[in-house]
């Protein structure tokens, strides 16, 4: 399997950050942002992906498999940014060849061969004990309750069975995003959002439609 190259990932990401910074500067000079909503949406969407990629650099430094996942994500982010730029470089305020030096990195870590290898890749989440328990709880529920019924629900366009809904309710799933003052568990801290992400990810392993989308 192809080894990760975190320096190349960092260099490619730096090119993306430079593009975003120039695009934001260009957007700030627009006389009426309401006339450029499509452009601003694309810039905001790309900026969000770039910001997530920054955090992946730290994750990728923790091990070989973590690095492979980080390289794949960052390569996909820069490739998507390039798609948004193509033919609209002047609107973004950047040069036509702004991302050219990331070409080799993208071709390596977006190749079908490399991406297919990720399907069976195992990499630790590096969560603390509390969140590992959250992940384990929702993973086991997904495997035991959702996965056995997922195909039927999808193929027959069936309603979500009551045992799944009741089970998730017992786990407190539906209160993860509800503030405490309204009977939920959310305190407004960053850990609330992380808990929702972990629960959604683990339920989606079993079925996105019958599990992950319920949160």
Q: How confident is the model at residue 194 (pLDDT cuts 50, 70, 90)?
A: confident
Q: What is the pLDDT of residues 106-136, one digit of tens each?
A: 999 999 999 999 988 888 889 889 899 999 9
- Average pLDDT rounded to a whole number, residues 171-198: 80
What is the average pLDDT value for the chain, to the nearest integer? 92
* CB 208, CB 146: distance < 8 Å: no
Does one domain contain both 96 and 18? yes
- Percentage of the chain surpassing pLDDT 90? 74
Residue 106 lies in a domain: yes
Does one domain contain both 181 and 81? no
Helices then strands, counting H and E runs in the chain, come out as 10, 0
Residues 159, 120: Cα–Cα separation, whole Å: 31
Give the end of a domain, one of 120, 137, 156: 120
Residue 90 lies in a domain: yes
Q: What is the pLDDT of residues 81-99, one digit of tens each?
A: 999 999 999 999 999 999 9
- Does residue 185 register a pLDDT over 80? no
Does one domain contain both 81 and 49? yes
Does one domain contain both 65 and 153? no
Residue 9, pLDDT score = 98
Model-level pTM?
0.79
Give the end of a domain, one of 90, 120, 150: 120
Overall number of domains in the chain: 2
Question: Between these two residues, 121 and 207, which has the higher pLDDT value?
Answer: 207
Residue 122, pLDDT score = 81
- CA pseudo-torsion sign 136, 142, 145, 147: negative
Does one domain contain both 178 and 203? yes
Residues 133, 125: Cα–Cα separation, whole Å: 12
Does one domain contain both 33 and 104? yes
Domain span at residue 187? 129-214
Which CATH number fits the domain that encloses residue 173? 1.10.540.10
- Does residue 62 register a pLDDT over 80? yes
Does one domain contain both 89 and 146? no
Does one domain contain both 70 and 137? no
- Average pLDDT rounded to a whole number, residues 140-153: 95
Tokens 């979500």, residue?
A: 160
Does one domain contain both 111 and 139? no
Residue 164 lies in a domain: yes
Does one domain contain both 133 and 102? no
Among 43-47, 130-134, 142-146, whose mean pLDDT is lowest?
130-134
Does one domain contain both 208 and 135? yes
Residue 1 lies in a domain: no
Radius of gyration of the chain measured on its C-alpha atoms: 21
């Amino acid at each position: 399997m192809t080894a990760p190259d975190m320096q190349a990932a960092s260099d490619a990401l730096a090119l993306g950050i430079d593009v975003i910074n120039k695009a934001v500067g260009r957007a700030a000079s627009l006389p009426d942002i309401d006339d450029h909503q499509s452009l601003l949406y694309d810039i905001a969407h790309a900026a969000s992906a770039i910001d997530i990629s920054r955090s992946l650099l730290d994750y990728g430094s923790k091990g070989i498999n973590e690095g492979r996942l980080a390289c794949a994500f960052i390569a996909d982010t820069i490739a998507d940014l390039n798609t948004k730029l193509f033919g609209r470089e002047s609107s973004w305020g950047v040069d036509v060849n702004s991302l050219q030096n990331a070409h080799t990195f993208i071709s390596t870590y977006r190749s079908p061969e490399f991406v297919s290898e990720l399907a069976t890749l195992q990499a630790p989440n590096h969560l603390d004990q509390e969140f590992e328990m959250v992940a384990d709880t929702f993973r086991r529920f997904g495997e035991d309750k959702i996965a056995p019924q997922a195909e039927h629900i999808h193929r027959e366009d069936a309603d979500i069975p009551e045992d799944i809904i009741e089970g998730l309710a017992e786990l407190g799933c539906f209160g993860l995003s509800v503030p405490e003052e309204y009977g939920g568990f959310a305190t407004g801290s960053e850990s609330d959002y992380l808990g929702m992400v972990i629960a959604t990810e683990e339920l989606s392993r079993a079925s996105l439609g019958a599990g992950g989308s319920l949160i």
